[in-house]
Amino acid sequence: MRLERLEIRHVRLPLVAPFETSLGRLLTKDAVILRGEAEGLVGWGEVAAWSDPWYSYETVQTSLYVLTRYLVPLALRAEVADAATTPDPWPTVRGYPMAKAALQCVALDLLAQERGQSLAHWLGGRRSEVPVGISLGIEGSIDRLLERIGTAQEAGYQRVKLKIRPGWDIAVLRAVRERFGDLLQIAGDANGAYCLEDADHLAQVDAFELSMLEQPLQHDDIDDHAELARRIATPICLDESLPTLGTARQALATRACRVVNIKPGRVGGIVVAQQLHNLCAAAGVPVFCGGMLETGIGRAANVALASLANFTIPGDLSASDRYFHRDLIAPPFVLLDGGLLKVPTGPGLGVAVDEEALEAVTVRRRKLNGAPP
């Protein structure tokens, strides 16, 4: 089976509420949605990149260019099965893991549909429901943050991850722990906002019994994370520092982290994400599935991935209404009792794209066709 045609859409969805981290503030979610056709089947993928180069050099605009100019023409000449099962199906294009991940998701969706399997079953998932947490951004006041945490706790989320940065950290975490006590699982996420010289300051978080402190230092410094891990008791989780299996092996060997955040877009696709899961499982390091404010298309792929055995920590997946008034899938993901999301069981991604909703938020589109047989 070969990909016959592919449509690339730039979409823009308003967020339910602004989302602010140490990297910047989002009011809308721009995304690239891919729709591929092959032998009467339709496969979907979503580029996780943001509009600005905060989290990664890869953005919506650069992904659009690289997909249109290079990746999609290559994919239209290749077997779908190869694109769906190879760690990097397009190695001649250096980098751009988020664009590659979305394109591979299209191939996986098509191949799993052809074989009558859900993506979760294809990957070897073991759960029909996955535990999820909620990631809350930096708010205008601690009182406002406490209010939002209370709402999340009432909704049933199993874990709350709080974005922190210098000036919005120790006092915030103390207030949260004092208000909600020991029953609430709390994590901190700095998105690289600190440096090793802040180690004594960061050691203060030990008093709050966080489940983890995610990406406290710069994205390209595993050695300093290893040193910080020796100086604080709170488990360090790495995200941006692990773009490849090689960097993950280095981090595990140096004990730079005790938890790993796995994002398919960051590592180049679900195949590598599965390999990273297996690597961490062999090392006895638990993982969770991170999020990039994906629509239901990207979220469906993440939920399927999170059904694997070593995803033992609630992921940053959340229900659709956490971010969007109307998602791009119908029905949307809904939080179940106990803070769970249902793993789709239909063929492929197992979700139905809401074509009307998709059309309403489309900024522009481009259709590319494969060579005739």
Q: Is the pLDDT at 371 greater than 80, yes or no? A: no
Looking at the structure, tell me whether residues 248 and 275 fall in a common domain.
Answer: yes
Residue 373 placed within a domain: no
Active-site residue list: 163, 263
Span 320-330, mean pLDDT?
A: 94
**Quick one: pLDDT at residue 373?**
44
Which domain does 203 fall in, by range?
121-342
Residue 331 placed within a domain: yes
Looking at the structure, tell me whether residues 111 and 137 fall in a common domain.
Answer: no
Report the domain count for the chain: 2
Residues of the chain with pLDDT > 90, as a percent, come to 93
In Å, how far from its chain's centre is CA 244? Answer: 15
- Spatial separation of the C-alpha atoms in residues 139 and 171, rounded to whole Å: 13
Looking at the structure, tell me whether residues 338 and 358 fall in a common domain.
Answer: no
Strands (DSSP E) contained in the chain are 5-20, 25-38, 41-47, 129-131, 134-136, 160-163, 186-189, 212-214, 236-238, 259-262, 287-289, 340-342, 362-369
CATH number at residue 41: 3.30.390.10
SS (H, E, C) 98-164: HHHHHHHHHHHHHHHHHCCCEHHHHHCCCCCEEEECEEECCCCCHHHHHHHHHHHHHHCCCCEEEEC
- Spatial separation of the C-alpha atoms in residues 78 and 74, rounded to whole Å: 7
Cβ neighbors of 105 (< 8 A, separation 6 or more) are: 34, 43, 44, 45, 46, 264, 269, 270, 298, 301, 349
pTM listed for this prediction: 0.95
**Quick one: pLDDT at residue 19?**
81
- Per-residue pLDDT tens over the stretch 338-360: 999 999 999 999 999 999 999 99
- Per-residue pLDDT tens over the stretch 141-199: 999 999 999 999 999 998 999 999 999 999 999 999 999 998 889 999 999 999 999 99
- Spatial separation of the C-alpha atoms in residues 296 and 327, rounded to whole Å: 6
- Per-residue pLDDT tens over the stretch 194-227: 999 999 999 999 999 999 999 999 999 999 999 9
Looking at the structure, tell me whether residues 189 and 72 fall in a common domain.
Answer: no
Looking at the structure, tell me whether residues 165 and 108 fall in a common domain.
Answer: no
Looking at the structure, tell me whether residues 13 and 37 fall in a common domain.
Answer: yes
Looking at the structure, tell me whether residues 236 and 266 fall in a common domain.
Answer: yes
Looking at the structure, tell me whether residues 63 and 172 fall in a common domain.
Answer: no
Residue 347 placed within a domain: no
